[in-house]
Chain A
């Protein structure tokens, strides 16, 4: 398949997806669980891909994602609350210190930039560390950020431990899809560029990469800052989705969820992260919900054990099984593409026809 054909295929697939979403939105009731999953899934897909850029493609095991999302979410919220609602939101802090609002897209980008700026500063000392040590240091950073944002001395800016609300949110499911889509496309373009190749070289063998003239400190910092930028943007989107935010939401458990998505999707696969993010959100928010229902009957049989919170037990077991027996994840390091799908069909079809040919020979 040539380049032009591939482009046409991909573009038409994306358009088809958007049209499908648009139609679904017109047809289905807006309270449907499907939309929750689609919206949250799209946001998590972005943050999972950004984490994959760092953990999967550059080989830097960082657990600071929740912290950078928090920075993005707060920046977004603080910059977009309309001045007229500030008095009621910041009721304990005399309406806060910021008395203006900027357009939503700008605020999302600002969220990314703030996260990236913090990543740059944190990266200076932290990126000298390797593997587990880096993970612990970044996790510590995320926890510190969360605590600092709840500090009441910063109240005029962050509203202390109180909710931030009244900022613009999105109505259509298309919004997070388009924003995430653009961001993921940017990440993919980066990964396929000469810089992406350098990142992969660092992942495969740091010493060899350095001997090939790749400046380790510079490239690691780049990957860290870019990953944090997109984590910040997704934090902004998450704020839009949640409609209210609070620093206590961004616990380390959130980072682990994202890490799980990356692992399940396949470390080093962008499409894997996207697919698994939708699956993960669908399972945790929707498909396994019935497990929380104590009065669940199949026919007249009362299913035992079910009670509030049982969903999480089952979910944990599923994930453990996944990590134990299916370590490669859904995609491994491969990518989903029209070409691969075509090859797969061709293979199945050819194998069948070869088999048939073999059968006739034998008979």
Chain B
């Protein structure tokens, strides 16, 4: 069994992942691994394919080619099909040919224990802070339509509520419990979105630009916040971020994309000094 240990230590593994929209290759043969308990940041200039990579992991898009593993189990796999067979310009065109196509919907991915937040905050607008979190508890229900309607699941319902209250307390959102989610200040909305993702009890958390639109003070708070929840919830975090302060401070490793291709990977210091990365992305930032 010991030789399999390495496999389970890797929480998420992308393998030869390619996404082609029409004639445009958005993500080009990207492979990476996220280890247990690690924070891996995915960085790159605008249009480098970071969000597309995220959307493939979360089931929003099925990749054109490649496979994704979660805790050693294959969860996504595809090979160019139909019209794409002729159009495909990426690599490894035949690597997955003839293998089973696996393309789960986002809810199935979430059920496996992978939760996410969005680049542009997507809260349930007409619901309160508490209800936003409570909704995320729906997924782990054991009740069916009948038992839920006739309140035969009262015990479970009470537990869902209690867990949501608990989460509110941990996330320091208690004081705004009954306010509409959209009435919160921007930074708190981010917190709430992360809290809602945590309510699905994930092991892997995907954060899509969590610090977008935040000022330096809020970014600093978020940095500490992410570090704190990783410890408290035993999370593995895979995130996209533009704020270099945040990325360099918090990441265990950084993976850099440019025009859909992986150009570097390593510890923050290594990536910071990688000439290719400087050329593609950090050059401007270092001039400051």
- Chain A residues engaging chain B, CB cutoff 8 angstroms: 186, 189-190, 193-195, 197-198, 200-201, 203-205, 207-217, 222, 268, 333
* A189 and B151 contact, CB distance less than 8 A: yes
Q: Does B267 contact A (CB under 8 A)?
A: no
Among B95-103, B131-139, B221-229, B233-241, the one that faces the other chain is B131-139
* B139 and A214 contact, CB distance less than 8 A: yes
Q: Does B19 contact A (CB under 8 A)?
A: no
* B123 and A205 contact, CB distance less than 8 A: yes
Q: A197-B134, A215-B107 are in contact. Are A204 and B149 (CB under 8 A)?
A: no
Q: Does B38 contact A (CB under 8 A)?
A: no
Main SS at interface, chain A = helix
* B110 and A213 contact, CB distance less than 8 A: yes
Q: Does B196 contact A (CB under 8 A)?
A: yes
Q: A205-B122, A222-B145 are in contact. Are A212 and B196 (CB under 8 A)?
A: yes
The residue that A210 contacts in the complex, of B106, B131, B143, with Cβ under 8 A, is: B106
Residues of B within 8 Å of A186, CB to CB, are: 149
* B106 and A201 contact, CB distance less than 8 A: no
Interface string of B187-229 (1 = CB under 8 A from A): 0000000001101100000000000000000000000000000
- Name which residue of chain A comes closest to B125, CB basis: A204
Given contacts A194-B148, A208-B118, 4 further A-B contacts (CB under 8 A): A207-B60, A208-B124, A212-B107, A216-B105
Residues of B within 8 Å of A208, CB to CB, are: 118, 122-124
* A205 and B149 contact, CB distance less than 8 A: no
Q: Determine the distance from Cα of A87 to Cα of B145 in the docked complex, in whole angstroms.
A: 43
CB under 8 Å from chain A, chain B span 105-161: 105-108, 110-111, 115-116, 118, 122-127, 131, 134-141, 143, 145, 148-151, 153, 157, 160
Specify which of A190, A194, A200, A216 lies most central, judged by the most chain B CB atoms within 10 Å of its CB: A194
* B124 and A211 contact, CB distance less than 8 A: no
The residue that B138 contacts in the complex, of A190, A204, A207, A214, with Cβ under 8 A, is: A214
Residues of B within 8 Å of A194, CB to CB, are: 137-138, 141, 143, 148, 153, 157, 160
Residues of B within 8 Å of A213, CB to CB, are: 107, 110-111, 136, 138-140, 200
The residue that A189 contacts in the complex, of B105, B111, B134, B150, with Cβ under 8 A, is: B150
Residues of B within 8 Å of A197, CB to CB, are: 131, 134-135, 138
Q: Does B41 contact A (CB under 8 A)?
A: no
Q: Does B58 contact A (CB under 8 A)?
A: yes
Q: A194-B137, A204-B125, A205-B123 are in contact. Are A211 and B106 (CB under 8 A)?
A: yes
Tell me the smallest distance from the CB of A56 to a CB of chain B, in Å. Answer: 11
Residues of B within 8 Å of A222, CB to CB, are: 145
- Chain B residues engaging chain A, CB cutoff 8 angstroms: 58, 60, 105-108, 110-111, 115-116, 118, 122-127, 131, 134-141, 143, 145, 148-151, 153, 157, 160, 196-197, 199-200
Tell me the smallest distance from the CB of B114 to a CB of chain A, in Å. Answer: 10
* A193 and B135 contact, CB distance less than 8 A: no
Q: Determine the distance from Cα of A230 to Cα of B116 in the docked complex, in whole angstroms.
A: 37
* B136 and A204 contact, CB distance less than 8 A: no
Tell me the smallest distance from the CB of A126 to a CB of chain B, in Å. Answer: 18
Residues of B within 8 Å of A214, CB to CB, are: 107, 135, 138-139
* A193 and B122 contact, CB distance less than 8 A: no
Residues of B within 8 Å of A333, CB to CB, are: 126
Residues of A within 8 Å of B136, CB to CB, are: 212-213
Residues of B within 8 Å of A209, CB to CB, are: 124, 135
Residues of A within 8 Å of B149, CB to CB, are: 186, 189-190, 193, 195
- Name which residue of chain A comes closest to B117, CB basis: A211
* B107 and A210 contact, CB distance less than 8 A: yes
Residues of B within 8 Å of A204, CB to CB, are: 123-127
The residue that A212 contacts in the complex, of B105, B125, B138, B160, with Cβ under 8 A, is: B138
The residue that B124 contacts in the complex, of A190, A195, A200, A210, with Cβ under 8 A, is: A200
Q: Determine the distance from Cα of A217 to Cα of B118 in the docked complex, in whole angstroms.
A: 22
- Name which residue of chain A comes closest to B132, CB basis: A201
Residues of B within 8 Å of A212, CB to CB, are: 107, 110, 115, 135-136, 138-139, 196-197, 199-200
- Name which residue of chain A comes closest to B143, CB basis: A194
Residues of A within 8 Å of B145, CB to CB, are: 190, 195, 222
Tell me the smallest distance from the CB of A6 to a CB of chain B, in Å. Answer: 15
Q: Determine the distance from Cα of A214 to Cα of B124 in the docked complex, in whole angstroms.
A: 13
Specify which of B107, B118, B150, B160 lies most central, judged by the most chain A CB atoms within 10 Å of its CB: B107
Residues of A within 8 Å of B135, CB to CB, are: 197-198, 200-201, 209, 212, 214
Residues of B within 8 Å of A200, CB to CB, are: 124, 126-127, 135
* B138 and A211 contact, CB distance less than 8 A: no
Tell me the smallest distance from the CB of A327 to a CB of chain B, in Å. Answer: 16
Q: Determine the distance from Cα of A197 to Cα of B122 in the docked complex, in whole angstroms.
A: 16
Residues of A within 8 Å of B105, CB to CB, are: 210, 215-217
Please name 15 pairs of A and B residues whose Cβ atoms are closer than 8 Å in the assembled complex, sorted by A. A186-B149, A190-B145, A194-B143, A197-B131, A197-B135, A201-B124, A208-B124, A209-B135, A211-B58, A213-B111, A213-B139, A214-B135, A214-B139, A216-B105, A333-B126
Q: Determine the distance from Cα of A347 to Cα of B157 in the docked complex, in whole angstroms.
A: 33
Residues of A within 8 Å of B200, CB to CB, are: 212-213
- Name which residue of chain B comes closest to A187, CB basis: B149
Residues of B within 8 Å of A207, CB to CB, are: 60, 106, 118, 122
Tell me the smallest distance from the CB of A45 to a CB of chain B, in Å. Answer: 20
Specify which of A189, A190, A193 lies most central, judged by the most chain B CB atoms within 10 Å of its CB: A193
Tell me the smallest distance from the CB of B154 to a CB of chain A, in Å. Answer: 11
- Name which residue of chain A comes closest to B133, CB basis: A212
Q: Identify the 9 closest CB pairs spanning chains A and B, nearest first.
A: A213-B139, A213-B110, A208-B122, A204-B124, A193-B148, A210-B106, A201-B135, A212-B136, A215-B107
